[in-house]
């Protein structure tokens, strides 16, 4: 037996797998699909859910060229085939072809959108394929004529030979110029009307943008009906962020539904469908105890209030999805109502605010959070949790308020200070973490260069 090997081909993502086969007087044995070894050598961990077999009674049976919207792992259980593929995906590789003979020691990984075909070279050939989505009867997908002149597949048995048997359906398939290329899987952005959702949309052009009216993440029936097979990436920017209302009898169940149950459902869907799930967390999952260098991604959760508890539960659920990024952030500033805009308005209106001085952290502008999201996805960074804020010296809310006054041409001395305890006296508010600074080393290790919070604040006010 030779070693297990994986070879690339001219079609991006189409991989030939050379399988070790043990022969003796009884026949042969092979590990046709061995996830651990094959993934270690570079085969995608594509998560097969169905195994199909095609029996070909006589030599010359010819099938294809079929382009389904799922990945396949093809091989033979008996006999031999000449197999050919045509790239039917949108992009520069559209129309690229590749062919190889498959016997017991060859298998091929076929990515979504690549047309698959074969011709049996022996009687009694059994063609096998693992797929990572369930076949649905009645659906039609792109197909190509077996004799397409642009593809010029050199069939060992000519298609006009008496030995060749082709179905009437395959004979009616179009030629390459008449084929509509298969579009790539899509991106879904939830919470598209929120501060973060608005910042994400420009960095993921063509994404499906949904808010509660289009897709209620707390509605199991709505989630079950959504066409998840069309998506490769979910950016879950939807959340319940009314920190104080989350402590009330009315707000508590809404917070748990939006921040814990909905992400758990998305994580299950992402795991089942092989979707990458990007989810957004918060410094509120910690109790705000001082930590040298800032809170790290692996710090144990210790939320003080209901909002933090619901977000921590959502994080734990999302971490169960194989392909996930959890971006933990703090003090988010974007479009719409936020702390910076409030301070700028008070400054302009002649109001002298008293601002909390014992809560310390860094601002996170939604542009920075969106940029980090795009970076992690595009770079193929290892899945997991990443802290994402703007960089620079941690400051208190009062410090940032004074800086807003200064940048808008007002006297920063107009801002007085209060402690968190003083601010909360007589109010029905949720407890706040005092130390919210997040360590950014892990994110920097992926090649991301964070923007200084003071510079981002000046640019934001300048706009």
Q: How many CB atoms lie within 10 A of CB 168?
A: 6
For residue 61, give the CATH number of its domain. 2.60.120.10
CA distance 340 to 458: 11
Domain that holds residue 407: 186-462
Exposed, middle or buried by CB within 10 Å (0-12, 13-18, 19+), for 159? middle
Q: Which residue positions in the chain have pLDDT lower than 70?
A: 1
DSSP conformation letters of 154-217:
--SS-TTSTT-B--HHHHTPPPGGGPPPBPPPEEEEESTTSHHHHHHGGGSTT-EEE-TTT--T
> Where among 178, 208, 236 does a domain terminate?
178
pLDDT at 17: 98
Euclidean distance between the first and final Cα of the chain, in Å?
67
pLDDT at 138: 76
pLDDT at 88: 96
Residues 126 and 244 placed together within one structural domain of the fold: no
Active site amino acids: 66, 129
Residues 201 and 167 placed together within one structural domain of the fold: no
pLDDT at 1: 60
Would you give the distance in Å from CA 389 to the centre of its chain?
A: 20
Residues 134 and 203 placed together within one structural domain of the fold: no
Which residue from 162, 164, 128, 132 is spatially nearest to 146, judged by alpha carbons? 164
pLDDT tens by residue, 347-375: 999 999 999 999 999 999 999 999 999 99
pLDDT at 316: 97
Instruction: Say if CB 442 and CB 387 are below 8 A apart.
Output: yes
Instruction: Say if CB 408 and CB 332 are below 8 A apart.
Output: no
pTM, entire model: 0.87
For the chain, the farthest-separated pair of C-alpha atoms sits apart, in whole angstroms, at 94
* b/e per residue 106-144 (b: at least 16 CB within 10 A): bbbbbbbbbbbbbbbbeeebebbbbbbbeeeeeeeebbb
For residue 226, give the CATH number of its domain. 3.40.50.720
- Average pLDDT of the chain is 95
How many domains does the chain fold into? 2
Residues 173 and 192 placed together within one structural domain of the fold: no
pLDDT tens by residue, 246-298: 999 999 999 999 999 999 999 999 998 889 999 999 999 999 999 999 999 99
């Amino acid at each position: 037996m030779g070693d297990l090997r994986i070879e690339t081909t001219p079609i991006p993502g189409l991989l030939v797998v050379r399988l070790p086969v043990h022969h003796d007087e009884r026949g042969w044995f092979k590990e046709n699909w061995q996830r651990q070894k094959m993934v270690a050598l570079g085969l995608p961990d594509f998560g097969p859910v169905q195994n199909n077999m095609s029996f070909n009674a006589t030599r010359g049976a010819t099938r294809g060229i079929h382009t389904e919207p799922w990945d396949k792992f093809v091989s033979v259980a008996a006999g031999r085939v000449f197999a050919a593929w045509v790239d039917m995906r949108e992009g520069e590789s559209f129309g690229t072809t590749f062919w190889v003979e498959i016997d017991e020691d060859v298998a091929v990984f076929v990515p979504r959108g690549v047309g698959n075909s074969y011709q049996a070279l022996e009687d009694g050939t059994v063609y096998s394929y693992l797929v990572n989505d369930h076949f649905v009867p009645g659906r039609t997908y792109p197909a190509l004529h077996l004799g397409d002149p642009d593809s010029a597949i050199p069939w060992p048995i000519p298609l006009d030979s008496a030995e060749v048997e082709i179905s009437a359906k395959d004979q009616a398939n179009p030629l390459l110029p008449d084929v509509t290329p298969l579009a790539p899987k899509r991106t879904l952005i939830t919470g598209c009307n929120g501060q973060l959702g608005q910042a994400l949309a420009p960095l993921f052009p063509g994404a499906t943008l949904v808010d509660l009216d289009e897709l209620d993440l707390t509605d199991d029936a709505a989630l079950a009906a959504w066409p998840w097979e069309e998506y490769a990436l979910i950016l879950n920017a939807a959340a319940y962020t009314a920190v104080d209302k989350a402590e009330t009898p009315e707000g508590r169940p809404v917070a748990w539904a939006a921040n814990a149950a909905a992400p758990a459902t998305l994580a299950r869907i992402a795991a089942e469908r092989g979707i990458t799930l990007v989810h957004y967390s918060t410094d509120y999952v910690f109790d705000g105890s001082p930590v040298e260098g800032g809170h790290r991604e692996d710090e144990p959760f210790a939320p003080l209030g209901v909002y933090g508890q619901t977000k921590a539960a959502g994080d734990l659920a999302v971490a169960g999805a194989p392909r996930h990024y959890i971006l933990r952030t703090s003090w988010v500033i974007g479009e719409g109502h936020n702390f910076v805009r409030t301070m700028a308005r008070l400054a302009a209106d002649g109001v002298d605010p008293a601002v909390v001085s014992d809560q310390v952290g860094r601002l996170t502008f939604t542009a920075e959070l969106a940029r980090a999201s795009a970076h992690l996805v595009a770079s193929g960074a290892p899945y997991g949790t990443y802290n994402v804020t703007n960089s620079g010296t941690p400051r208190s809310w009062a410090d940032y308020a004074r800086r807003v006054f200064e940048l808008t041409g007002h006297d920063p001395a107009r801002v007085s200070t209060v402690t968190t305890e003083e601010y909360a006296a007589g109010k029905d508010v949720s407890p706040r973490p005092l130390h919210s600074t997040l360590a950014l080393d892990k994110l920097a290790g992926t090649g991301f260069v964070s923007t200084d919070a003071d510079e981002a604040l000046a640019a934001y006010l300048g706009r």
